[in-house]
Structure 1
């Protein structure tokens, strides 16, 4: 009997073991099923569409308004710069009204982004809107060029914080909607894209002239500050640090103070040197060489410090730069994109005025000044209707960089009689230039290992784009001015041979500097045929000068194409329903 009982117990144990094995198998199958389902959900193909609350939508709208305000402070003062100098000058320092905007924004967008990653974003953005509003008020009531430069400084300081909107908007929405959100923000540029034309309308028809531009900016900035105050409530400092329990003072002490000052000094000195070169001082002067050399030393010291110092919160996380395909290569792409975009904003108004624009009609001048913005409007439609949905971000970037490099090269063939070609090409270049930026913002943010670095990562993209613009503006302006200076003399001599000019050549050459009928009328012995020949010589000399600039730009474009080819499209699994942060107002109500 005992033997039978033992056999019975053994059989029962065997059954239990088999059942246990079956349960383990079921658990494995269930686990695999869950993993497969998660993978499918991550791909964004079968996962249910996440709900975006009204509060989140209003917060994103506040950020869109902030971006529009930021663009108005960038575009409108630049459009009316000559009118400001005519009323409050003449003062050779007047270009610094807009130069200071680039200086401030390029530095603040990265520094502010990193600080916002650590301390929270809300008050930094509100500070940006308030600073820009004060700048607009200073500019609207300005009575001197130095006062207008102060307005530009305030615009740049505020603009740097405001350009953080791309990082702020992305972290509020599900990952799968990040590119769509960026597309909406770019599409909303339809309003600010008419900024240059609107500025000329204010000059022509408003009783206060160019000051109306600053009042317009003031209204936008105030409205933006109110919208941010009411609707934009991202995680507070306490929410962000509820796990580590650190106080603000502890984090201040742990900040990368050395890196902060090295980065600020390096960017500031580089931009100052580039903006002084060929304008305020000769390129071979110590005023230009010294800042650029010291800035390079600061950049090298910064790199060594960030890599080898044991930092808890580095201003430039080394881990980001190690990710070449997801981050560093995109910095190169955006640097060159900035070179092409910002240089076009400088070159095209000059080129169109010299070669094609003979009318003194203010509105016509505004239309020509708006050509680059017309291209951004076209790009906005692409960014909202195509960019988010086709995927393959790498090939989108490669395609756009290739197209704009080819189009920039074609600008070298433009002559005096090619106005239609020039206009069409400029619009097309601008349309191709814009999409790589939102594509880069999304690619960088979705490629991060830690979403808490999104502010500094996206901020660096903006900084490199702005610095690229400053570098290109300096290089290109230097090229076409020096090229023009060497070609105007032989061109003018050749053109006036059969015009019957009996006066002194050097006086005629001096008159070509302003190239106006009034200037030529002061030249003794001149006649109408000589005037026409001199004006044609100026155009021909500039055609050759701009041709060299555009040919040089091709080389930079090729570098960008090579970098774009080394990037990596966003993994489908990264386009999930996850959100980086939740608004405090949603957290309080439990409706996330």
Structure 2
């Protein structure tokens, strides 16, 4: 099952020689796992149909992955009104998040061992299946099932840094990821506007979202199958057999990891929303999930070699300081962003749009657009600027300042709020792309690029879920306090009978003129006073959430001081090259 000495030597020689040119102290930074180098690739390799087709497959896959829930999330209430109502609507978003978090690690490790081609092609095929299920759904449980499949597919699709990273020279990885992110703009940047556009301007309504996803996933799958020919299992393991690796796969570790992470994240998502925090459902899910994750770590570290020949997550990854710090900053940075991904859409709907759903969707898109702008520009500038440690310190500090300053915004400062949110998300995007790229660049063995990127993605998801839970709890508690203390007195002072206050608050929830007209004792002046008080109360609650981001920003700033500088790794070495359809020769040779 071991690689031949010739193959092992081929994967070692390249970077050792390159790094000796880059730094006089190469012995401290020796990397392995490279198949070739830029100067060894045939002329026309990067303009070949195989390479361009693979990059397009990765780009379309990312678009489908982020749009798989990005399109549906803003219009879930409309979908629920059409094929519901169903009390389990929240599971539509939950299953997507859970599948993504769990399967990122599995996608990375399985593709490292067995080859990537059919993992990524299969992911897009699953995206087609999940989109079809959702497109024809006649009830919410069917929609949940389809979104589960879409979430599993997305785990392969957002893992594009694995493909891009190993096919490009080390010095081009930041650029490659930045260019792929451009294709996410219609899905993540304009997701709310696209979704609302289907509702407002087409006869197919919300189902049009999934028709579009079928087309995108189908095209991506076709590109993967036609053009993506990375090293096969046989090329990775010359003397190994597939069934030998199937038999020795870490099934125990996979079981502990999947169940543990699922339960832990489910408990966090349930708390305070589906069930009270003190309920048995929440406590049991969090505690049992945490214990299973502890058991997983113990298994990976101490299981006898006779039982564990190929661990799901090699624990030596966590002894790689640069990789660990890049991964944690990636997660904490995402935690800063999620405050606005969750809060901003409801904030603009309440404070700044006066009930216009299309305008609300456009303003809501600022979060995704800001993040993508930072991912693209940050990726393009990362290599020329160098010193990624200082880039991350500056970007985290800037994001924290902009996010914290949103706390000064009121119902009358729409332009200021939009500008601050966009710039905050821009700098988080910068952090996101640089640290995402670093999770592959910082690996000492590039044969583990899938595992390193996959585990980093799962860690990011776990940290983001924790931060999301904090924000939701803070907002819920503050809204209860601010609305109850500010809105009723304002209504009574404006002349509304105290007995009608509850009716007015109910009318706000419904949001229709008929609902307000049915409130006893209502008038235009009272309605205006009540709505103004409601906006101010909401602004006060949002302010607390934005101030809460300072804690995450401070933590991220401290951690960013330990992000690595990687100028010495910006070499011409290439981890893997595409080969022809019917032989093992590099494309173009």
- Please, what TM-score do these two structures have when normalized by structure 2? 0.88
Q: Which residue of 2 aligns with 1:145?
A: 140
Q: Which residue of 2 aligns with 1:203?
A: 199
Q: Which residue of 1 aligns with 2:518?
A: 522
Q: Residue 255 of structure 1: SS of its match in structure 2?
A: coil
* Per-residue Cα deviation, 1:336-358 (whole angstroms, up to 9, x for no partner): 12222233222101011111110
Which of 267, 275, 278 is residue 281 of structure 1 equivalent to?
Answer: 275
Report whether the alignment pairs 1:301 with 2:283: no
Report whether the alignment pairs 1:580 with 2:580: no
Q: Which residue of 2 aligns with 1:428?
A: 423
Shift of 1:389: 2.1
CA distance in 2, matches of 1:90, 1:525: 32
Report whether the alignment pairs 1:218 with 2:218: no
Contact 2:339/2:546 (8 A) holds in 1: no
Which of 331, 342, 354 is residue 335 of structure 1 equivalent to?
Answer: 331
- Structure 1's 49 and 383: CA in aligned 2 closer, same or farther, altered over 3 A? farther
Shift of 1:377: 4.3
- Structure 1's 505 and 413: CA in aligned 2 closer, same or farther, altered over 3 A? same
Equivalenced residues, count? 551
- Structure 1's 501 and 80: CA in aligned 2 closer, same or farther, altered over 3 A? closer
CA distance in 2, matches of 1:355, 1:493: 18
CA distance in 2, matches of 1:461, 1:198: 30
Q: Which residue of 2 aligns with 1:406?
A: 401
CA distance in 1, matches of 2:469, 2:325: 23
CA distance in 2, matches of 1:550, 1:492: 22
Contact 2:127/2:149 (8 A) holds in 1: yes
CA distance in 2, matches of 1:390, 1:334: 19
Q: Which residue of 2 aligns with 1:22?
A: none
CA distance in 1, matches of 2:477, 2:555: 25
Contact 1:512/1:534 (8 A) holds in 2: no
Q: Which residue of 2 aligns with 1:272?
A: 266
Q: Which residue of 1 aligns with 2:34?
A: none
Q: Which residue of 1 aligns with 2:186?
A: 191
Shift of 1:105: 0.8
Report whether the alignment pairs 1:388 with 2:383: yes
Q: Which protein has the larger Cα radius of gyration, Structure 1 or Structure 2?
A: 1
Q: Which residue of 1 aligns with 2:563?
A: 567
RMSD value over aligned CA atoms?
2.3
Structure 1: gaps (5+ residues) = 1-33
CA distance in 2, matches of 1:256, 1:210: 41
- Structure 1's 526 and 167: CA in aligned 2 closer, same or farther, altered over 3 A? same
CA distance in 2, matches of 1:343, 1:409: 11
* Per-residue Cα deviation, 1:255-296 (whole angstroms, up to 9, x for no partner): 222211111112101221122122211111111111011111
Report whether the alignment pairs 1:163 with 2:145: no
CA distance in 1, matches of 2:434, 2:471: 27
Report whether the alignment pairs 1:466 with 2:453: no
Q: Residue 588 of structure 1: SS of its match in structure 2?
A: coil
Contact 2:500/2:521 (8 A) holds in 1: no
Q: Residue 494 of structure 2: SS of its match in structure 1?
A: coil
Q: Which residue of 1 aligns with 2:226?
A: 230
Q: Which residue of 2 aligns with 1:445?
A: 440
- Structure 1's 249 and 224: CA in aligned 2 closer, same or farther, altered over 3 A? same
- Structure 1's 335 and 129: CA in aligned 2 closer, same or farther, altered over 3 A? same
Shift of 1:48: 6.5
Q: Residue 347 of structure 1: SS of its match in structure 2?
A: helix
Which of 352, 359, 362 is residue 367 of structure 1 equivalent to?
Answer: 362
CA distance in 1, matches of 2:565, 2:292: 33
Q: Residue 278 of structure 1: SS of its match in structure 2?
A: coil
CA distance in 1, matches of 2:298, 2:225: 40
Q: Residue 583 of structure 1: SS of its match in structure 2?
A: coil
Which sits farther off after the overlay, 420-429 or 328-337? 328-337
Which sits farther off after the overlay, 470-479 or 542-551? 470-479
CA distance in 1, matches of 2:40, 2:242: 38
Shift of 1:218: 0.5
* Per-residue Cα deviation, 1:311-351 (whole angstroms, up to 9, x for no partner): 43211211110112x11112221221222223322210101
CA distance in 1, matches of 2:545, 2:22: 50
Q: Residue 529 of structure 1: SS of its match in structure 2?
A: helix
Shift of 1:512: 6.0
Superposition map of 1:94-173 within 5 A? 94-173=89-168
Q: Residue 576 of structure 2: SS of its match in structure 1?
A: coil
Shift of 1:443: 1.8
Contact 1:503/1:523 (8 A) holds in 2: no
Q: Which residue of 1 aligns with 2:532?
A: 536
Structure 2: gaps (5+ residues) = 1-15, 27-37
Q: Residue 415 of structure 1: SS of its match in structure 2?
A: coil
Q: Which residue of 2 aligns with 1:14?
A: none
Contact 1:275/1:474 (8 A) holds in 2: yes
Q: Which residue of 2 aligns with 1:315?
A: 312
Shift of 1:40: 4.8
* Per-residue Cα deviation, 1:355-385 (whole angstroms, up to 9, x for no partner): 111043x431221221112213432541353
Shift of 1:159: 0.6
Contact 2:83/2:140 (8 A) holds in 1: yes
Shift of 1:153: 0.3
CA distance in 1, matches of 2:297, 2:18: 42
